Structure 1
């Protein structure tokens, strides 16, 4: 979504399965370094965005969250991971900026109600959810 200030990009995780997805692990990685715990008084998404984006682009985290380990995401349910405002950018510029962050990854390891393990890897400069950000 484009605003007067710039482009707002929202990242969510959505369960497209028939039953609940039980989150077993979830973490961010920047350049191979894993981040899964919020340090004292620091938001995990803010910290990871600062490490990955740094001063390459002017941005602000508007909202953020991470699903807790052991939590269940119901069928059809979604969870907001991050909503970022990229100042002075339109959608194409924000997409190009985010695709340039090839060292940023978000991973969710989860199980189906039948205890089948699955892994979702997103970002890494090639997020499968770009169409939903437009």
Structure 2
């Protein structure tokens, strides 16, 4: 129960609305697992083809910068991280297009980009994976 209220407080602090499942996902949740896996296989093949066609560029730690704690949004995220994910370090990477976790390090795009509603949702989903 404490974990749920902590997540709700973090959502409120980051001004993120919970995502709603579309009907397709709700229907998949009711399917037997074998059918869901069969549906997911073509998507996996497509993503593998994309990855081999366009390999991801390595992320270098030299391009990371610490968020400016004077900015209001950065301050909110830092407070939330210290309260709910104290072991997680946060760095900005201007080459990054969405928040990601790398071995206890939260890497996000610039603060300006991170303040968009879509990026806030991605940040919340990323943080949920860590907890």
- TM-score, with length taken from structure 1: 0.24
Greater fraction strand: 1
Bigger relative contact order, structure 1 or 2, given CA contacts below 8 A and separation 6+? 1
Q: Tell me which structure has the larger Cα radius of gyration.
A: 2
Greater fraction helix: 2
